[in-house]
């Protein structure tokens, strides 16, 4: 068989581990040929690809980013790809395509699959917000990076008796904020799923200071926003790729807390540092398992599906199921964390 693989959307730690695993399983396990399209669906449409053999994936397991490059593609070009799905398959002589990506990529994968291309998706995102899978690789690494940041911020906050507001990624789902906030023992956590009351955060910080604790760390997801009338905040605009560009809730909240508390507050925006660098052992293992199962799905003719983690097992779920809604943080997880505002 000849299998095409590509990585699309925002990158995340573990993409190279999937590519390596696909090549290893396909070449060694089945005697297949693998080609890698460059820069996501752009490579598929524009004919930019290269053969991937065992040598070309040697040494990439622990490397962040993606050796194939990644890009977000406008909807119009995706439709173009779907309309010529048959032709594209013939052009490259591929028997199957394995796109690795987040919600947008999996939606595109579904479009191609509906148009007749044999597709097996692999979900990825540091945000962990893809439904139909318990986890996505990249998330564990992002949580580790954010947790380390909270640990570090606590010591400097304490030295200066400051409030630190650390903003982590997560536009629509607050998984990174929830888990890094819990792991780092943040005193406040703000999620996109629940508008927060600034008054409650002010009260919590005042009570801490009254108890002799002279600092506080608030972990806020980039998509979190204040409850109506709780603080002036304008949501961001939608960019040309359909993403909301936030004004920076971390900066706003730190400024507001400083004004209301009369104590120094500092914002720390972690940004893309959460997406860069080497994946954790957990993410390497999950990515490797997903790659292995994707190739097996190709050989079983299990198309129009994506790999999924269910408890501890990897199974295949229909792409149609996975891309209908985002997996957001449920109420019961917020209760367990205790410090969600
Ligand atoms: O979806 C992953 C993600 O890291 C989001 O958490 C974040 O809002 C977004 O990507 C940033 O994307 P970009 O690479 O376009 O800045």
Residue nearest to atom 11 of ligand 1 (CA): 10
Residue 5 pLDDT exceeds 90: yes
pLDDT band at 288 (very low <50, low <70, confident <90, very high): very high
Q: How many CA atoms lie within 13 A of 16 on its CB side?
A: 20
Which domains does the chain possess? 2-138+279-322 (3.40.50.450), 139-274 (3.40.50.460)
User: 85-92 vs 75-83: helix axis angle to the nearest 10?
Assistant: 70
Cβ-based neighbours of 212, under 8 Å, separated by 6 or more: none
Residue 137 pLDDT exceeds 90: yes
Atom of ligand 1 nearest to the CA of 129: 1
Cβ-based neighbours of 272, under 8 Å, separated by 6 or more: none
User: What is the enclosing helix (H) or strand (E) of 99?
Assistant: strand 96-101
Ligand 1 pocket residue status of 169, Cβ below 6 Å:
yes
pLDDT band at 53 (very low <50, low <70, confident <90, very high): very high
From 41-45, 133-137, 217-221, 304-308, the region with the lowest mean pLDDT? 41-45
Distance 10 CA to ligand 1 centre (A): 6
User: 141-161, pLDDT tens digit by residue?
Assistant: 999 999 999 999 999 999 999
Q: Which of the 8 DSSP states describes residue 180?
A: H
Percentage of the chain lying above the pLDDT 70 cut: 96
pLDDT confidence of residue 247: 67
User: 65-100, pLDDT tens digit by residue?
Assistant: 999 999 887 777 777 777 888 888 888 999 999 999
Residues 27 and 142: beta-carbon distance below 8 Å: no
Cα separation values, 280 from 12, 158, 208, Å: 12, 29, 34
Q: Is the pTM of this model over 0.90?
A: yes
pLDDT confidence of residue 240: 62
The single residue listed with the structure tokens 């957001």 is 328
Which residues in 242-268 are b (16+ Cβ under 10 Å) and which e? Answer: eeeebebbbbbbbebbbebbebebbbb
User: 208-265, pLDDT tens digit by residue?
Assistant: 999 999 999 999 999 999 998 888 777 766 766 666 666 689 999 999 999 999 999 9
Summarize the confidence of residues 285-303 as an average pLDDT.
Answer: 98
């Amino acid at each position: 068989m000849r299998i095409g693989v590509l990585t699309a959307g925002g990158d995340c730690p573990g993409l190279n581990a999937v590519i390596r695993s696909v090549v290893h399983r396909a070449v060694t396990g089945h005697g297949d040929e693998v080609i890698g399209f460059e820069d996501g669906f752009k490579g598929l449409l524009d004919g930019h690809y290269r053969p991937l053999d065992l040598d070309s994936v040697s040494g990439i397991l622990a490397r962040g980013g993606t050796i194939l490059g990644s890009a977000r593609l406008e909807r119009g070009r995706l439709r173009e790809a779907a309309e010529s799905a048959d032709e594209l398959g013939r052009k490259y002589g591929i028997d199957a395509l394995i796109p690795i990506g987040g919600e947008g990529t999996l939606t595109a994968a579904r479009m191609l699959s509906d148009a007749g291309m044999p597709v097996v998706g692999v979900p990825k995102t540091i945000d962990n917000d893809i439904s139909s899978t318990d986890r996505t690789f990249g998330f564990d690494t992002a949580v580790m990076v954010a947790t380390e940041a909270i640990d570090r911020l606590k010591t400097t906050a304490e030295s200066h008796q400051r409030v630190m507001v650390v903003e982590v990624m997560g536009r629509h789902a607050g998984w990174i904020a929830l888990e890094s906030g819990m792991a780092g023992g943040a005193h406040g956590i703000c999620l996109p799923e629940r508008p927060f009351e600034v008054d409650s955060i002010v009260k919590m910080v005042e009570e801490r200071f009254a108890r002799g604790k002279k600092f506080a760390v608030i972990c806020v997801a980039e998509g979190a926003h204040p409850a109506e009338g709780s603080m002036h905040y304008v949501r961001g605009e939608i960019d040309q790729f359909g993403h909301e560009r936030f004004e920076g809730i971390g900066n706003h909240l730190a400024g507001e807390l400083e004004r209301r508390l009369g104590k120094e507050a500092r914002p720390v925006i972690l940004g893309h540092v959460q997406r860069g660098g080497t994946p954790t052992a957990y993410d390497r293992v999950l990515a490797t398992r997903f790659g292995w199962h994707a190739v097996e799905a190709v050989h079983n003719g299990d198309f129009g599906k994506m790999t999924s983690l269910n408890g501890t097992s990897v199974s295949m779920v229909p792409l149609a199921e996975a891309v209908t809604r985002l997996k957001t943080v449920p109420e019961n997880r917020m209760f367990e964390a205790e410090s969600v505002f």
